[in-house]
Protein backbone atom coordinates (compact mmCIF):
# COMPACT_ATOMS: atom_id res chain seq x y z
CA UNK A 1 0.00 0.00 0.00
CA UNK A 2 1.15 3.55 -0.67
CA UNK A 3 0.35 4.54 2.94
CA UNK A 4 0.79 1.77 5.46
CA UNK A 5 -2.17 1.50 7.82
CA UNK A 6 0.06 0.44 10.66
CA UNK A 7 2.67 3.22 10.51
CA UNK A 8 2.93 6.96 10.11
CA UNK A 9 0.87 9.66 11.77
CA UNK A 10 -1.66 8.44 14.32
CA UNK A 11 -5.05 10.11 14.44
CA UNK A 12 -7.67 9.83 17.14
CA UNK A 13 -11.39 9.47 16.34
CA UNK A 14 -11.86 13.08 17.44
CA UNK A 15 -9.22 14.18 14.89
CA UNK A 16 -11.14 12.56 12.01
CA UNK A 17 -14.45 13.81 13.36
CA UNK A 18 -13.40 17.45 13.70
CA UNK A 19 -11.71 17.46 10.31
CA UNK A 20 -14.93 16.45 8.58
CA UNK A 21 -17.63 18.03 10.70
CA UNK A 22 -18.75 14.73 12.21
CA UNK A 23 -19.20 13.22 15.64
CA UNK A 24 -16.78 10.63 16.96
CA UNK A 25 -19.68 8.16 17.04
CA UNK A 26 -20.23 8.71 13.32
CA UNK A 27 -16.58 7.90 12.67
CA UNK A 28 -16.89 4.70 14.68
CA UNK A 29 -20.09 3.81 12.86
CA UNK A 30 -18.39 4.31 9.50
CA UNK A 31 -15.58 1.98 10.53
CA UNK A 32 -18.06 -0.67 11.67
CA UNK A 33 -19.91 -0.35 8.34
CA UNK A 34 -16.71 -1.00 6.40
CA UNK A 35 -16.52 2.53 5.01
CA UNK A 36 -13.19 2.95 6.79
CA UNK A 37 -10.54 0.25 7.05
CA UNK A 38 -10.29 -1.32 10.49
CA UNK A 39 -8.33 0.85 12.91
CA UNK A 40 -5.46 -0.44 14.97
CA UNK A 41 -5.94 -0.54 18.73
CA UNK A 42 -3.65 0.62 21.51
CA UNK A 43 -2.82 -1.56 24.49
CA UNK A 44 -5.76 0.10 26.26
CA UNK A 45 -8.15 -0.53 23.37
CA UNK A 46 -8.19 2.99 21.92
CA UNK A 47 -8.62 3.31 18.15
CA UNK A 48 -5.71 4.72 16.17
CA UNK A 49 -6.34 5.99 12.65
CA UNK A 50 -3.92 7.12 9.93
CA UNK A 51 -4.01 9.63 7.06
CA UNK A 52 -5.31 6.80 4.88
CA UNK A 53 -8.38 6.55 7.10
CA UNK A 54 -8.87 10.28 6.70
CA UNK A 55 -8.67 9.87 2.92
CA UNK A 56 -11.19 7.03 3.05
CA UNK A 57 -13.59 9.20 5.02
CA UNK A 58 -13.12 12.09 2.60
CA UNK A 59 -13.78 9.71 -0.31
CA UNK A 60 -17.01 8.43 1.19
CA UNK A 61 -18.29 11.92 1.90
CA UNK A 62 -17.51 12.87 -1.72
CA UNK A 63 -19.24 9.79 -3.13
CA UNK A 64 -22.44 10.04 -1.09
CA UNK A 65 -23.99 13.14 -2.74
CA UNK A 66 -23.82 11.63 -6.22
CA UNK A 67 -24.37 7.94 -5.51
CA UNK A 68 -26.43 8.01 -2.34
CA UNK A 69 -25.46 6.75 1.11
CA UNK A 70 -26.19 3.07 0.43
CA UNK A 71 -24.25 2.82 -2.82
CA UNK A 72 -21.38 4.94 -1.50
CA UNK A 73 -21.14 2.58 1.47
CA UNK A 74 -21.08 -0.45 -0.82
CA UNK A 75 -18.37 1.14 -2.98
CA UNK A 76 -16.14 1.87 0.01
CA UNK A 77 -16.70 -1.56 1.53
CA UNK A 78 -15.72 -3.22 -1.77
CA UNK A 79 -12.56 -1.12 -2.04
CA UNK A 80 -11.54 -1.85 1.54
CA UNK A 81 -12.07 -5.57 0.94
CA UNK A 82 -9.83 -5.44 -2.14
CA UNK A 83 -12.74 -5.92 -4.57
CA UNK A 84 -11.92 -2.98 -6.81
CA UNK A 85 -13.79 -4.37 -9.83
CA UNK A 86 -16.96 -4.64 -7.76
CA UNK A 87 -16.54 -1.05 -6.58
CA UNK A 88 -16.15 0.15 -10.17
CA UNK A 89 -19.21 -1.86 -11.23
CA UNK A 90 -21.26 -0.06 -8.58
CA UNK A 91 -19.98 3.28 -9.87
CA UNK A 92 -20.97 2.26 -13.41
CA UNK A 93 -24.47 1.32 -12.26
CA UNK A 94 -24.96 4.75 -10.74
CA UNK A 95 -23.95 6.40 -14.00
CA UNK A 96 -26.39 4.17 -15.90
CA UNK A 97 -29.16 5.23 -13.51
CA UNK A 98 -28.30 8.89 -14.01
CA UNK A 99 -28.42 8.42 -17.79
CA UNK A 100 -31.81 6.69 -17.50
CA UNK A 101 -33.09 9.60 -15.41
CA UNK A 102 -31.88 12.06 -18.05
CA UNK A 103 -33.64 10.09 -20.77
CA UNK A 104 -36.84 10.07 -18.72
CA UNK A 105 -36.64 13.84 -18.35
CA UNK A 106 -36.12 14.24 -22.09
CA UNK A 107 -39.12 11.99 -22.78
CA UNK A 108 -41.27 14.06 -20.41
CA UNK A 109 -40.24 17.29 -22.12
CA UNK A 110 -40.95 15.86 -25.58
CA UNK A 111 -44.33 14.66 -24.39
CA UNK A 112 -45.21 18.10 -23.03
CA UNK A 113 -44.35 19.72 -26.35
CA UNK A 114 -46.88 17.42 -28.02
CA UNK A 115 -49.73 18.41 -25.73
CA UNK A 116 -52.61 20.37 -27.19
CA UNK A 117 -54.51 23.05 -25.23
CA UNK A 118 -57.42 21.70 -23.22
CA UNK A 119 -60.59 21.63 -25.28
CA UNK A 120 -62.66 22.63 -22.25
CA UNK A 121 -62.14 23.41 -18.56
CA UNK A 122 -62.07 20.40 -16.31
CA UNK A 123 -65.41 19.83 -14.55
CA UNK A 124 -65.72 20.71 -10.91
CA UNK A 125 -67.52 17.48 -10.06
CA UNK A 126 -66.92 13.79 -10.65
CA UNK A 127 -67.81 11.55 -13.56
CA UNK A 128 -68.00 7.87 -14.39
CA UNK A 129 -66.28 5.72 -16.96
CA UNK A 130 -68.99 5.87 -19.65
CA UNK A 131 -69.41 9.66 -19.76
CA UNK A 132 -65.64 10.19 -19.56
CA UNK A 133 -64.95 7.77 -22.40
CA UNK A 134 -67.62 9.53 -24.51
CA UNK A 135 -66.11 12.91 -23.77
CA UNK A 136 -62.63 11.75 -24.81
CA UNK A 137 -63.87 9.88 -27.88
CA UNK A 138 -62.55 6.50 -26.73
CA UNK A 139 -64.00 3.24 -25.47
CA UNK A 140 -64.42 2.48 -21.76
CA UNK A 141 -62.14 -0.52 -22.28
CA UNK A 142 -59.34 1.88 -23.19
CA UNK A 143 -59.73 3.70 -19.87
CA UNK A 144 -59.61 0.36 -18.07
CA UNK A 145 -56.45 -0.55 -19.99
CA UNK A 146 -54.78 2.71 -18.94
CA UNK A 147 -55.81 2.05 -15.37
CA UNK A 148 -54.33 -1.44 -15.57
CA UNK A 149 -51.07 0.11 -16.77
CA UNK A 150 -51.03 2.31 -13.66
CA UNK A 151 -51.68 5.56 -15.55
CA UNK A 152 -55.11 6.28 -14.09
CA UNK A 153 -56.16 5.86 -10.46
CA UNK A 154 -59.90 6.37 -10.15
CA UNK A 155 -61.45 5.54 -6.81
CA UNK A 156 -64.34 3.12 -6.46
CA UNK A 157 -67.76 4.05 -5.16
CA UNK A 158 -68.11 2.05 -1.92
CA UNK A 159 -71.79 1.24 -2.60
CA UNK A 160 -71.79 0.44 -6.31
CA UNK A 161 -68.15 -0.37 -7.00
CA UNK A 162 -68.25 1.94 -10.02
CA UNK A 163 -65.13 3.84 -10.99
CA UNK A 164 -65.33 7.50 -10.00
CA UNK A 165 -63.16 10.06 -11.80
CA UNK A 166 -62.51 13.38 -10.07
CA UNK A 167 -61.17 16.45 -11.95
CA UNK A 168 -57.56 15.36 -11.49
CA UNK A 169 -58.40 11.92 -12.92
CA UNK A 170 -60.09 13.56 -15.91
CA UNK A 171 -57.00 15.72 -16.45
CA UNK A 172 -54.79 12.63 -16.38
CA UNK A 173 -57.06 10.77 -18.81
CA UNK A 174 -56.98 13.73 -21.20
CA UNK A 175 -53.19 13.82 -21.03
CA UNK A 176 -52.92 10.11 -21.73
CA UNK A 177 -55.30 10.41 -24.70
CA UNK A 178 -53.31 13.29 -26.21
CA UNK A 179 -49.97 11.63 -25.69
CA UNK A 180 -51.15 8.31 -27.12
CA UNK A 181 -52.40 10.18 -30.18
CA UNK A 182 -48.91 11.63 -30.47
CA UNK A 183 -47.45 8.13 -30.56
CA UNK A 184 -45.94 8.10 -27.08
CA UNK A 185 -45.67 4.64 -25.48
CA UNK A 186 -47.25 4.01 -22.12
CA UNK A 187 -43.86 3.68 -20.41
CA UNK A 188 -43.06 7.30 -21.35
CA UNK A 189 -46.44 8.60 -20.24
CA UNK A 190 -46.16 7.22 -16.71
CA UNK A 191 -43.20 9.42 -15.67
CA UNK A 192 -44.93 12.48 -17.10
CA UNK A 193 -48.07 11.84 -15.05
CA UNK A 194 -45.95 11.33 -11.95
CA UNK A 195 -44.38 14.75 -12.54
CA UNK A 196 -47.76 16.40 -13.13
CA UNK A 197 -49.14 14.93 -9.91
CA UNK A 198 -46.06 15.88 -7.91
CA UNK A 199 -46.12 19.43 -9.27
CA UNK A 200 -49.86 19.79 -8.63
CA UNK A 201 -50.88 20.24 -12.27
CA UNK A 202 -49.51 21.25 -15.65
CA UNK A 203 -48.89 24.92 -14.88
CA UNK A 204 -46.47 24.31 -11.97
CA UNK A 205 -44.73 21.55 -13.94
CA UNK A 206 -42.42 23.92 -15.80
CA UNK A 207 -40.75 24.91 -12.53
CA UNK A 208 -40.58 21.26 -11.48
CA UNK A 209 -38.78 20.37 -14.71
CA UNK A 210 -36.24 23.14 -14.19
CA UNK A 211 -35.62 21.80 -10.71
CA UNK A 212 -35.30 18.27 -12.14
CA UNK A 213 -32.62 19.56 -14.53
CA UNK A 214 -30.75 21.20 -11.66
CA UNK A 215 -30.85 18.08 -9.54
CA UNK A 216 -29.56 15.86 -12.36
CA UNK A 217 -26.74 18.30 -13.09
CA UNK A 218 -25.85 18.43 -9.40
CA UNK A 219 -25.74 14.63 -9.25
CA UNK A 220 -23.53 14.48 -12.33
CA UNK A 221 -21.06 16.99 -10.92
CA UNK A 222 -21.09 15.26 -7.54
CA UNK A 223 -20.22 12.00 -9.28
CA UNK A 224 -17.26 13.70 -10.94
CA UNK A 225 -16.00 14.92 -7.57
CA UNK A 226 -16.54 11.51 -6.03
CA UNK A 227 -14.66 9.82 -8.89
CA UNK A 228 -11.63 12.05 -8.32
CA UNK A 229 -11.53 11.24 -4.61
CA UNK A 230 -12.07 7.53 -5.27
CA UNK A 231 -9.19 7.43 -7.75
CA UNK A 232 -6.93 9.16 -5.20
CA UNK A 233 -7.95 6.67 -2.52
CA UNK A 234 -7.32 3.71 -4.81
CA UNK A 235 -3.84 5.05 -5.60
CA UNK A 236 -3.13 5.58 -1.91
CA UNK A 237 -3.95 1.93 -1.23
CA UNK A 238 -1.65 0.57 -3.95
- Segments making up each domain of the chain, as ranges: 13-94+220-237, 116-201
Per-residue pLDDT of the chain (238 residues; tens, 9 = 90+): 444 444 467 888 898 899 889 999 999 999 999 999 998 887 777 888 999 999 999 999 999 999 999 999 999 999 999 999 999 999 999 999 999 889 878 877 877 776 655 545 455 578 999 999 998 999 999 999 999 999 999 999 999 999 999 988 988 898 888 888 877 788 878 888 887 888 777 777 777 788 889 999 999 999 999 999 999 999 999 8
Is 0.85 surpassed by the pTM of this model?
A: no
| Contact indicator for 137, 89 with CB cutoff of 8 Å | no
Domains 13-94+220-237 and 116-201 share a fold: yes
In whole angstroms, what is the distance from residue 217 CA to residue 88 CA? 21
Strand 40-41 and strand 47-48: pairing?
Answer: antiparallel
In whole angstroms, what is the distance from residue 156 CA to residue 163 CA? 5
Upper half-sphere CA count for residue 195 (Cβ side, 13 Å): 27
Which CATH number, 1.10.540.10, 1.20.1300.10, 1.10.1660.10, 3.40.50.720, labels domain 116-201?
Answer: 1.10.1660.10
Task: Look at residue 117 in the predicted model and tell me its pLDDT.
Answer: 55
Q: What are phi and psi of 48, to 5 degrees?
A: -130, 120
What's the CA dihedral at 202, 207, 213, 219 to 10 degrees? -110
The yes/no answer on whether domain 13-94+220-237 falls in CATH 3.90.180.10 is: no
Amino acid sequence: MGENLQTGERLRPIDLARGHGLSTQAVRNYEEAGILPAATRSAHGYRAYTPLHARALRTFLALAPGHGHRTATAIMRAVNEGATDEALRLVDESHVQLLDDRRTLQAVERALRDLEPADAPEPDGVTFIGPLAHRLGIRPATLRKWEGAGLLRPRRDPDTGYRVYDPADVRDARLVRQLRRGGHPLEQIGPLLDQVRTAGGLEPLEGALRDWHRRLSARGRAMLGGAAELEAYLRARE
